[in-house]
Structure formats: structure tokens, C-alpha cells
């Protein structure tokens, strides 16, 4: 069994809490871009003791993903897993950033074990030093996470085939972005090949997956200025014909509540 919940999702801060193999199994976070006090309070609000956190997997060095990681690791004793590129970027910013934290440097193509789960990182096109996203597998079931990428690649698509749960970036609506008051350079960055995934691309990606197998799909990292739940749902409807039953939207203020991936039926 895998269950997962977000403590917040969007450019103000991301944090995804995952529990695999029951309450005595393995407890992970993917990213923590929230201030540590807020992160601790939100973990407790989800009914979990933060001291039971085994590891924090980092996707990349942007503040909305890494801002609270090291402080949370110091508070909880969790091991921080990150690529060499992310570590180097962090170190360039501050030589003391990782003091007092147990680090595990990972290869962006190499699966590794953590407690009772297998973590499968894969690289994504995004304007960071060595960004990755993750599949977290527990026995035969797996949860895929895909945010912060400018475009889909065959490798990304292959990496997320056959997931049972998916957290997927629906960052912006291209028309809203084009009409926004954002500076031209920022518009180019967001819509570029190393920026963020627009609603239509996310919906098309979803259409290529095995939807019968997906127990939950969560639209995440929505832009607060250049997107809305209505725009996301309209894009999904346009591409898929209808919105899948188990389709949810993550918010910046409260992420989303626990979702459980059940073991596959024999």
C-alpha cells in the first residue's frame, strides 16, 4: 500500500508526503519548499509524527522545492537524497547549506532502495542544474511524480508508464500566460522547453497513459496567476473527452488530503 498527500503545491512551495508499507513502513517527502515551521505543522495536521520521516527526495534547487529541505532534515533526522548537480548548485549558493544533514548523492538514472520502497529517479528538461522527478514503487504498485518540466521526452514518458497513482504538473494556460502582466522574459521562460508544462501538454500526456490502471491523478503546481481549476478541467475534457473519476486538483494553500493506492487485484 502507498498513501500520499501534498502539504502545498505551486510556485510558493511544494511538499509531498508519501507513506509506503503501512504506518511502520517507509515515510518520505519529495521536496519541501515550505518554511520548516509550516511544514512541521502541516505534517502533524495530516496525522503524522515528523520524527518518523526517513528521507527527503529533492527534485531540484529552485526555492519552491528546496527552501525548507535542510531545516526539516535537521529537525527530523531525515536523510536528504539529491543529485550531484542539485548538491553543487546548493553548495555554490551557500557552503554551509548542508551542515548537520545526512546526504545521499543519487544518480539521475539509477534506481535505489530506501526502506521498503524502490525509488526510480529520471531526468527532466527544466532550467536547473540536474533536475529529476521520481517514481516511488512498493512491491507491484507505484506512484509517479512529474512537475517542473518544460516538455515531455520519450524517456519521461517511458519512466511513467504503468504507474498506479500520478501527481502531474498542470502549470498554466498558454492564453492566460500570454495575456498576463508577467515580463516578456518570464513568459518565455515559463512556456519554454526548460520551463513548465501547460495544461494541454499535461492532458495529452495523460491521454497516452494506461488510465484503467491509474487509481488517482492529481493536477499539481498550478500557476496562481495563469491558471485555474476550470482551465485545467477544460483542457482535460478537451483531450480525453471527459474528466477521469479519480482526478483531483492540488492547491497552494493546502495541497490535497491523503490518497491511497491499493494493491493490484490478483
Q: Which residues contact 20 (CB under 8 A, 6 or more apart)?
A: 1, 2, 26, 27, 28, 115, 116, 117, 136, 138
Q: Are 26 and 20 in contact (CB under 8 A)?
A: yes
Residue 202's alpha-carbon distances to 16, 119, 208, 258, in angstroms, are: 19, 23, 10, 22
Q: Mark the segment that binds Zn ion (CB under 5 A) among 144-152, 158-166, 183-191, 206-214.
A: 144-152
- Residue with nearest beta carbon to Zn ion: 62
Subset of residues 148 to 187 that bind Zn ion, contact rule: CB under 5 A = 148
Is 232 or 261 the residue whose CB approaches Zn ion more closely? 232
Of 159, 117, 146, the residue nearest 28 (C-alpha): 117
Subset of residues 43 to 62 that bind Zn ion, contact rule: CB under 5 A = 62
Is 14 or 159 the residue whose CB approaches Zn ion more closely? 14
- Joined grid coordinates for residue 66: 528546496
Handedness of CA 96, 100, 101, 107 (dihedral sign): positive
Size, binding site for Zn ion by CB under 5 A: 3
Q: How far is the CB of 24 from Zn ion (least distance, A)?
A: 32
Q: How far is the CB of 39 from Zn ion (least distance, A)?
A: 16
Q: How far is the CB of 128 from Zn ion (least distance, A)?
A: 6
Handedness of CA 104, 151, 143, 167 (dihedral sign): positive
Q: How far is the CB of 61 from Zn ion (least distance, A)?
A: 8
Q: Which residue is associated with the grid cell 490535497?
A: 256
Is 26 or 59 the residue whose CB approaches Zn ion more closely? 59
Is 30 or 206 the residue whose CB approaches Zn ion more closely? 30
Subset of residues 60 to 89 that bind Zn ion, contact rule: CB under 5 A = 62, 64
Is 130 or 148 the residue whose CB approaches Zn ion more closely? 148
Q: How far is the CB of 225 from Zn ion (least distance, A)?
A: 14
Is 54 or 64 the residue whose CB approaches Zn ion more closely? 64
Per DSSP, the three-state class of 117 is strand
Rounded distance, CA 3 to CA 243, Å?
Answer: 22
- Sites of contact with Zn ion (CB under 5 A): 62, 64, 148
Amino acid at each position: 500500500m502507498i498513501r500520499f498527500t501534498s502539504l502545498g503545491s505551486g510556485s510558493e512551495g511544494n511538499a509531498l508526503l508519501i507513506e509506503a508499507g503501512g504506518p511502520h513502513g517507509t515515510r518520505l517527502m519529495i521536496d519541501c519548499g515550505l518554511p520548516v515551521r509550516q511544514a512541521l505543522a502541516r505534517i502533524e495536521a495530516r496525522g503524522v509524527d515528523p520524527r518518523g520521516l526517513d528521507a527527503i527526495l529533492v527534485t531540484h534547487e529552485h526555492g519552491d522545492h528546496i527552501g525548507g529541505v535542510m531545516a526539516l532534515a535537521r529537525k527530523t533526522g531525515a536523510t536528504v537524497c539529491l543529485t550531484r548537480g542539485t548538491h553543487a548548485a546548493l553548495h555554490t549558493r551557500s557552503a554551509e547549506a548542508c551542515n548537520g544533514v545526512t546526504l545521499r548523492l543519487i544518480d539521475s538514472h539509477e534506481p535505489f532502495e530506501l526502506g521498503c520502497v524502490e525509488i526510480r529517479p529520471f531526468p527532466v528538461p527544466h532550467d536547473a542544474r540536474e533536475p529529476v522527478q521520481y517514481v516511488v514503487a512498493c512491491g507491484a504498485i507505484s506512484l509517479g511524480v512529474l512537475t517542473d518540466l518544460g516538455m515531455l521526452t520519450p524517456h519521461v514518458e517511458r519512466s511513467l508508464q504503468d504507474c498506479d497513482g500520478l501527481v502531474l504538473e498542470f502549470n498554466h494556460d498558454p492564453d492566460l500566460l500570454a495575456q498576463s502582466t508577467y515580463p516578456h522574459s518570464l513568459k518565455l521562460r515559463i512556456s519554454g522547453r526548460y520551463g513548465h508544462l501547460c495544461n494541454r501538454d499535461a492532458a495529452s500526456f495523460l491521454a497516452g497513459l494506461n488510465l484503467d490502471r491509474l487509481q488517482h491523478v492529481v493536477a499539481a503546481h498550478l500557476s496562481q496567476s495563469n491558471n485555474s481549476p476550470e482551465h485545467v478541467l477544460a483542457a482535460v475534457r478537451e483531450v480525453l473527452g471527459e474528466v477521469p473519476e479519480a482526478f483531483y486538483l492540488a492547491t497552494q494553500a493546502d495541497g490535497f488530503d491523503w490518497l491511497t493506492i491499493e494493491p493490484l487485484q490478483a
